[in-house]
Chain A
Amino acid sequence: GESVGLHLPTLSVQEGDNSIINCAYSNSASDYFIWYKQESGKGPQFIIDIRSNMDKRQGQRVTVLLNKTVKHLSLQIAATQPGDSAVYFCAENEAGANSKLTFGKGITLSVRP
């Protein structure tokens, strides 16, 4: 079946460096993508989203890139901080699917001081 997956289970970066978290999706009908951050014991927190008619969107210190040709989504975090340590999930929404999301497996970002 269709699935959303992440390439790497863990990512360790030095504080101050940029982080890039990657996600592959396989549902070509998906038209809306979201990145969530989840800290231990808390619910997922919305970070940034992108619609399929865009290939890049920037927020505060974060950028999401969408490559529909290869079905790839990435989250870039600039100047990574200790507070960025968390599990990150990509999620996709299929057009017309009543906002139902399919989540990737999650990747743990660990920031070294």
Chain B
Amino acid sequence: GAVVSQHPSRVICKSGTSVKIECRSLDFQATTMFWYRQFPKQSLMLMATSNEGSKATYEQGVEKDKFLINHASLTLSTLTVTSAHPEDSSFYICSATRPLLAGGPSTQYFGPGTRLLVL
């Protein structure tokens, strides 16, 4: 299998606090992990690409100081939403890639998502 977990599944916090979300690949080593956010009835929006041991690559318009990404190992990446505000409330989803074949494209497997509500 290719199981990806996220923790927590749901978090409610006060405005101004920071929230950390963990993403783990449980049964494989992920070469790359991705972080997305999704608003209701919309598609997934890529926030950043995370490679183990290197700095994350952020998509245009995503504040790297606001959304801190740490990729400590081949099975763990964390996203920290710093000084969260109500507009940061969203569904955050991570994915991890597992190479299909040597040199071939990698399939992304997604975590179950984290629902963040900032009051």
* A interface residues with partner B (beta carbon < 8 Å): 31-32, 34, 36, 41-46, 49, 51, 89, 91, 93, 95, 98-101, 103-106
Is B109 a contact of A100 with CB atoms below 8 Å? no
Interface string of B100-119 (1 = CB under 8 A from A): 00001111111111010000
Give the residue name and chain of the B residue nearest to A36 (CB): B110
* Number of residues from B at the complex interface, CB < 8 A: 25
Known contacts being A41-B115, A98-B49, A99-B32, is A46 close to B109, with CB within 8 Å? yes
B-side contacts of A36, CB under 8 Å: 110
Q: Could you tell me the dominant secondary structure of chain A's interface residues? A: strand
B-side contacts of A89, CB under 8 Å: 43-44
A-side contacts of B2, CB under 8 Å: 46
Known contacts being A89-B43, A99-B32, A106-B43, is A43 close to B111, with CB within 8 Å? yes
